[in-house]
């Protein structure tokens, strides 16, 4: 997988990022060359709005059609019309919550989780406040770092209208059993909204196997531009009435895409999907698991470091750490001086960091690996971490 690095121009010698250890992928990965090339092509050769009879407009429209088809394949969807574009996952979720809320009544129930990114919590909490809905919570164990699925039978009722859950945690890294959660929701007639932002770069997505109704992710987490994608079952999408201008199309997916779409961003999404296809998800998963095992094994030898999450297996390569006697901000700052990029704080995972009891202490240090990282970078990071904790020995 070392060869993969040549497909990321920002890592090349002579670039400002050369020599930097990018362990910040959970917040946004480096962009791949194929995505950049596709974006340049869109801006240089196909720079027109959609719907015209002239050549550049036709090519711009064909690019959108091609990208929808590629994403339908990426999600294992039934129909390219099930792919909706938006500025990012948060914007798409806020819009979908507002749309979905039009069919709800006072006293209807939503099931949220204590592990989700706030983009899959706050939109639904706002909806509940506006519509007089009841919010219930699915908790996770701070010992196993899995959801307490035994709670589902009690939490799900005939009044449950929607379950919002994450495929993988952006804080503790757990890959969740979204298929079982979906099955439970379907048994009471609820729809399921899956946040796959953290899972999409690290595993195969099959919405048919999951059985959910919606799934969202953001391309800038899988080596593309800042743009969001929502998949939704076509019959569900068609049944919803979004807020839109009168002149907008009446059918999915266009009725959900307000205003003019970003041609260059859509082109970049296609380039990112093409990159993932060329590398192969199986190879990506295998390589990232090797790096994750190396990282976890090394951290376990460093006194004063606590990993808040699973060991090897059942996780994406995103780790939440705390270091005895040191604030997450101070650790992140010290690592930045060594040209190691990590994040700190709650990382918008307000609920999981609060559940871990770490919110008031400044959250966690979040270390996240990507396909372009190397074993040498992991070793370098471990050496610097050992240096930071040397006074604890």
Instruction: Please give the pLDDT value at position 309.
Output: 98
Asked if 171 and 352 count as a contact pair (C-beta separation under 8 A), the reply is yes
Instruction: Please give the pLDDT value at position 390.
Output: 81
Asked if 79 and 61 count as a contact pair (C-beta separation under 8 A), the reply is no
- The sign one gets for the Cα dihedral 391, 309, 173, 195 is negative
CA distance 128 to 111: 11
Pick the closest to residue 234 from 210, 207, 259 (CA basis): 207
Domain over 35-277 is classified CATH 3.40.640.10: yes
Question: And the tokens for 87?
Answer: 């500025």
Asked if 283 and 137 count as a contact pair (C-beta separation under 8 A), the reply is no
Q: Write out the residue limits of the CATH 3.90.1150.10 domain(s) in the chain.
A: 2-31+281-392
Strand (E) positions, the chain? 21-22, 83-86, 109-113, 134-138, 160-166, 191-195, 214-218, 228-232, 305-307, 318-323, 340-341, 343-345, 364-368
Asked if 298 and 378 count as a contact pair (C-beta separation under 8 A), the reply is yes
CATH code of the domain made up of 2-31+281-392 = 3.90.1150.10
Q: Write out the residue limits of the CATH 3.40.640.10 domain(s) in the chain.
A: 35-277
Instruction: Please give the pLDDT value at position 3.
Output: 87
- Rounded mean pLDDT for each run of 10 residues along the chain, 393 residues in total: 88 94 98 98 95 96 97 98 97 98 97 98 98 98 97 97 98 98 98 98 98 98 98 98 93 94 97 98 97 98 97 96 96 97 98 98 98 98 93 57
Q: Mind giving me the DSSP string for 107-143?
A: T-EEEEETTS-GGGTHHHHHHHHHHT-EEEEE-B-TT
Quickly count: other Cβ atoms within 10 Å of residue 218's Cβ. Answer: 28
CA distance 60 to 68: 13
CA distance 271 to 205: 18
């Amino acid at each position: 997988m070392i060869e993969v690095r040549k497909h990321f121009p920002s890592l090349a010698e002579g670039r400002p990022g050369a020599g930097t250890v990018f362990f910040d992928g959970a917040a946004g990965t480096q962009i791949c060359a194929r995505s950049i090339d596709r974006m340049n092509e869109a801006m240089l050769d196909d720079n027109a709005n959609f719907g015209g009879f002239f050549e550049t407009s036709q090519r711009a429209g064909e690019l959108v059609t091609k990208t929808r088809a590629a994403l339908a394949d990426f999600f294992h969807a039934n129909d390219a019309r099930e792919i909706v574009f938006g500025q990012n996952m948060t914007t798409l979720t806020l819009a979908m919550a507002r749309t979905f809320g039009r069919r709800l009544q006072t006293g209807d129930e939503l099931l949220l989780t204590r592990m989700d990114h706030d983009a899959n919590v706050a939109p639904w909490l706002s909806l509940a406040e506006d519509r007089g809905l009841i919010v219930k919570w699915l908790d996770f164990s701070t010992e196993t770092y899995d959801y307490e699925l035994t709670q589902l039978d009690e939490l799900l009722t005939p009044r449950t209208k929607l379950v919002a859950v994450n495929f993988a945690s952006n804080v503790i890294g757990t890959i969740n059993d979204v298929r079982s959660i979906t099955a439970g929701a379907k048994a009471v007639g609820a729809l399921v909204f899956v946040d796959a932002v953290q899972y999409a770069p690290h595993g195969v997505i099959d919405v048919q196997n999951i059985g959910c109704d919606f799934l969202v992710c953001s391309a800038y987490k899988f080596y593309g531009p800042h743009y969001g994608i929502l998949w939704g079952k076509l019959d569900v999408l068609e049944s919803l009435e979004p807020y839109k201008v009168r002149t907008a199309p009446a059918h999915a997916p266009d009725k959900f895409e307000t205003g003019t779409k970003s041609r260059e961003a859509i082109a970049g999404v296609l380039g990112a999907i093409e990159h993932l296809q060329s590398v192969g998800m199986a190879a990506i998963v295998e390589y990232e698991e090797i790096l994750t095992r190396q990282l976890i094994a090394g951290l376990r030898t460093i006194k004063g470091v606590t990993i808040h999450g699973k060991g090897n297996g059942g996780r994406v390569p995103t780790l939440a750490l705390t270091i005895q006697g040191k604030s997450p901000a101070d650790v992140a700052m010290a690592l930045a001086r060594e040209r190691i990029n990590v994040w700190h704080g709650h990382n918008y995972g307000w609920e999981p960091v609060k559940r871990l009891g770490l919110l008031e202490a400044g959250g966690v240090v979040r270390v996240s690996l990507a396909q372009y990282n190397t074993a040498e970078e992991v070793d370098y990071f471990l050496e610097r971490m050992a240096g930071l904790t040397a006074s604890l020995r």
